């Protein structure tokens, strides 16, 4: 099986100029049973193809494929996948992903067994997809496969009342700044009094259990790099008193990604709890303080 799409610029031009002419020819010949890829064409003039199962389904993309089993005694000029999120059967008049490399002899048999990445999909949406193949006589389709894309990131609403921090500087950087939507403000742990060594943490108290599959954070700007977090772990609790560490990040995470860009950390799965602590384990300067501008947590549909 070929595991890549090779689409030359000449093939793209050919598709743009000729594919819909094939569709028109195909429509004119509608009296012949050409539209169903599983039905054999009595004249033997159009290709025959089948559709592979859809794999590696994500929120906005998936992998599909097809196999051309007969060329209809004519050069194969177009192959690929067509797909739709409507109730109708997909055709090349909907969305299509071209596959194969077009040559002066058409698409060679070595490219007839293909896979292709379908991109630009909508999260948590039902789709239909089928392979197509065309020669000068018309277009044929493989059987229809259905799949549902996964949900993307679902961010949980956080309010200052839901947060506890350890520790807190009294003169600046209140915890409310973590969730005010403004990267120009910041949260700062204690440095003038009540100073304590790392780890420091941001505790989230949800009113009911929620799933967390990752979090985003923004560094204070401007600031020195010495107090920026560069490793974390995640703790959960059923009562907000006893805590269990369930995940830990790599050491020495980058500290140069600055607003408006977010730092994103994905967990190995969605952890469900009513109480969470995201602990800051270290900083580049091994400081007793740390700070952040903004903070968000999300359920990751890709981990379900």
In terms of domains, do 184 and 240 share one? yes
pLDDT value for 304:
87
Q: Which of 120, 148, 176 is where one domain is finished?
A: 148
In terms of domains, do 57 and 120 share one? yes
Q: Which of 130, 148, 166 is where one domain is finished?
A: 148
In terms of domains, do 223 and 237 share one? yes
Q: Please say if the pLDDT value at position 13 is more than 90.
A: no
In terms of domains, do 98 and 175 share one? no
2 part of a folded domain: no
Of 119, 135, 154, 177, give the one whose Cα is nearest residue 294.
177
Q: Which of 117, 148, 179 is where one domain is finished?
A: 148
Domain range enclosing 17: 9-148
Find the DSSP H helices in the chain. Answer: 9-28
Overall pTM surpassing 0.85 (yes/no) = no
3 part of a folded domain: no
138 part of a folded domain: yes
Query: Is the distance from CB of 142 to CB of 92 less than 8 angstroms?
Result: no
Q: What tens digit of pLDDT does each residue of 134-155 get? A: 999 999 999 999 999 999 999 9
Task: Report how far residue 24's alpha carbon sits from residue 87's, in angstroms, rounded to the nearest whole number.
Answer: 22
Q: Please say if the pLDDT value at position 18 is more than 90.
A: no
Domains: count for the chain: 2
């Amino acid at each position: 099986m070929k595991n890549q799409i090779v689409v030359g610029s000449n093939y793209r031009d050919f598709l743009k100029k000729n594919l819909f002419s094939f569709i028109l020819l195909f429509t004119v010949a509608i009296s012949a049973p050409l539209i169903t890829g599983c039905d054999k064409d009595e004249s033997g003039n159009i290709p025959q193809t089948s559709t592979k199962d859809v794999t590696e389904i994500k929120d906005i993309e998936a992998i599909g494929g097809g196999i051309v089993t007969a060329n209809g005694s004519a050069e194969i000029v177009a192959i690929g996948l067509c797909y739709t999120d409507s109730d109708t059967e997909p055709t090349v008049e909907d969305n299509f992903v071209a596959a194969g490399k077009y040559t002066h002899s058409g698409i060679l048999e070595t490219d007839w067994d293909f896979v292709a990445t379908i991109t630009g999909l909508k999260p948590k949406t039902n789709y239909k997809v089928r392979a197509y193949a065309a020669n000068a006589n018309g277009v044929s389709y493989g059987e229809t496969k259905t799949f549902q894309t996964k949900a993307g990131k679902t961010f949980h609403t956080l309010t200052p009342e839901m947060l506890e921090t350890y520790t807190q500087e009294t003169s600046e950087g209140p915890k409310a700044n973590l969730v005010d939507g403004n990267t120009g403000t910041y949260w700062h742990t204690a440095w003038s009094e009540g100073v304590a060594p790392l780890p420091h943490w941001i505790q989230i108290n949800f009113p009911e259990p929620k799933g967390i599959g990752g979090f985003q954070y923004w560094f204070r700007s401007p600031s020195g790099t010495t107090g920026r977090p560069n490793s974390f772990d995640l703790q959960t609790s059923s009562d907000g008193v006893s805590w269990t560490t369930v995940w830990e990040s790599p050491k020495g995470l980058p500290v140069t990604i600055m607003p408006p860009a977010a730092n994103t950390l994905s967990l190995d799965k969605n952890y469900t709890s009513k109480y969470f602590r995201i602990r800051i384990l270290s900083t580049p300067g091994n400081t007793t303080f740390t700070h952040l501008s903004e903070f968000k947590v999300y359920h990751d549909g890709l981990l379900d």
